[in-house]
Amino acid sequence: MSNSTASAGLVENVTNAGYARRKWSLGVLSIALIIIGLDVTVLNVAIPTLQAELQATASGLQWIINAYILVFAGVLLTMGSLGDRFGRRLAFQVGLVIFGLASVGAGLSESTSQLIVARAFQGIGGALIMPSTLSVIVDIFPREERAKAIGIWSGMAAIGIPGGMIAGGWLLENYFWGSVFLLNIPVVLIALIGSVLVIPESKDVNSKTTDIVGAVLSMISLSALIYAIIEAPEKGWLSGATLAGFAVTIVFGALFVWYEKRQAHPMVDLNLFKNARISAAAGSIGIAFMAMLGMMFLLTQYLQFVQGYSPLDTGYRLVPMAMGFLVGAPTSAAFVAKTNAKVVMSVGMLLVAIAVGSMAFLDVGTTYWLTGSLIFLMGLGMANTMAPATDSVMAAVPEAQAGVGSALNDTVRQIGGALGVGIFGSIMSSVYASSMTDAVVGLPTAAADAASNQIGAALQVAGSLEDGAGGELVTASKQAFIDGASSVYIIAGIVALIGMAFVVKFMPGYDLVPGEVEDDTATRPVVATELAT
């Protein structure tokens, strides 16, 4: 018997044994996944408290939020590669430990700078956890079950969206501000213990070296890109800092491509992008998240500032988003089986476009049943886009490179989301400021500038004015917000339609059958798997 045949037999036997625990493993992975999304949204309700407790400046508050996103997106590819190289369960466990310790540091921080550093380390932990969850799923589930498993994974990821705001609002009402970070500790401990008991180890046995140069180049390029997108709305898209960030992205991105193409064992096999399935599916994920996060960025403000809900009540009103994911993500696999991923993803993008575009009609007095229905429709559309697109990416990537494939999927999603918040936030600010021109006439310069910048500031300024003037400013600021949000929702809907056209044009019209491998570039390497003890 040849070495390759013997290896293949060993892999099959060990992997089949690992399948026995696959449902328990999926539960553990899903639990860990919730804290990744939760730690982004939880700060939406904690900002006023952090400002008071830590005397944080506006810039400090911005970086408390952005430090996590910047580091998380910047190191995703590297962490996915390390998981393939040294073991995905190991990467998952190390990520949990780092995330847990960073959460303790964040919860006990005594200054803004300490909290920013802790948030950055949370980003490192999250970047180890996120790709590992998906690559382990690819390893332990047979092809015929994988689409449904990824659907459940997608649905659980969405729970963090309203979950962060609900948990954060409740904790802030009952405990000290650091509790919003200490909440992660029991989740981390449960996931860590569960990983030891039920998750099998897997790695790429053919990966003999760590591509340090490629890792550094990718981290610099991706970090510069996310930084430029984050800073652009405030500093301007044509400011020196923003253009410098994009220039660094281009230069180091080009160096990364040049270097990777010349390596025998690159961190990322760039030939994968020649596969239409990978490029179309990943592109659709980025476009969908651009539309969704741009919408969510404004929707949370609409519910709180325009309609007057508390942060906790706002969290409750975002639950239909998670419900849409939980309904749509698992069932999308059945629809793919009856049609194909191209059809389901196209319908999903159409639902996203309808949901986002219809939000342009929301007004100050819109009843929640309409808003909640559109939020649910948005989640349903995202589920029918994200789940089959993710499964398509992972089906087309060699299993030995599952960590990198998962990281590519997550990186595109983060970039799309950052672009959505950055670009749509800039459009919103421009329209809002223009609509507030007449309303701030006669106000002191500082008050006028603040009220013209953001609706929350306008409401604070209105509270300091006499009843008549304050009431007029409140009305004007809410209408200005509606004007800006309507413009953004229309544009975001168009972006989603472009995403649908992208899928229709480039996504292959066939799906892989169970057991089939799609690899346009090379023979799939052997993946070694050993059971957890």
Break the chain into its structural domains and give their ranges: 1-210, 212-262, 272-423+489-508
d(CA 361, CA 353): 14
At a CB cut-off of 8 Å and minimum separation 6, what does 298 contact?
424, 428, 484, 485, 488, 489
483 or 50, which is more confident: 483
* DSSP 3-state of 529: strand
Residue with tokens 């405990």: 175
What's the CA gap between 153 and 282, in Å, rounded?
17
Angle at 143 between CA 139 and CA 148, to 5 degrees: 95
Query: 453-505 pLDDT, tens per residue?
Result: 778 788 888 888 776 777 888 888 899 999 999 999 999 999 999 989 988 88
pLDDT band for 372, please (50, 70, 90 cuts): very high
Helices 319-338, 143-174: crossing angle, 10 deg rounding: 180
Q: Position 388: which residue type?
A: P
Residue range 503-519, pLDDT digits in tens: 888 888 765 544 444 54
Distance of CA 454 to the CA centre of its chain: 25
Q: What is the per-residue pLDDT across 285-342, written as a single tens digit (0 to 9) for each?
A: 888 888 887 787 788 888 888 888 887 788 888 888 888 888 887 788 888 888 888 8
Closest CA to 202 of 136, 265, 129: 136
Would you state the pLDDT for residue 23? 78
pLDDT digits (tens, 9 = 90+) for 88-114: 889 899 999 999 999 999 989 888 889
Model confidence band, residue 250 (pLDDT cutoffs 50, 70, 90): very high
pTM score over 0.85? no
pLDDT at 151: 79
Lowest mean pLDDT among 147-161, 239-253, 333-347, 444-458: 147-161
Q: Is the pLDDT of residue 529 over 60?
A: no
The gap between the terminal CA atoms of the chain, to the nearest Å, is: 29
Name the more confident of 223 and 18: 223
Cα-Cα-Cα-Cα dihedral sign, residues 266, 211, 203, 276: negative
User: Comparing 1-210 with 272-423+489-508, is the CATH topology the same?
Assistant: yes
Q: Whole-angstrom Cα distance, residue 404 to residue 329?
A: 23
**Architecture of 1-210 per CATH?**
Up-down Bundle (1.20)
Region 272-423+489-508: CATH code: 1.20.1250.20
pLDDT at res. 512? 53
Q: How far is the C-alpha of 486 from the C-alpha of 197, rounded, in Å?
A: 50
Residues 285 and 416: their CA atoms lie apart, in Å, by 8
Tokens standing for residue 473:
């400013």
Of the two residues 389 and 158, the one the predictor is more confident about is 389
Residue % of the chain over a pLDDT of 70: 87
3-state secondary structure of 237: coil
CB-CB contact of 26 with 136 (8 Å): no
pLDDT of residue 316: 85
Please give the pLDDT value at position 517: 46
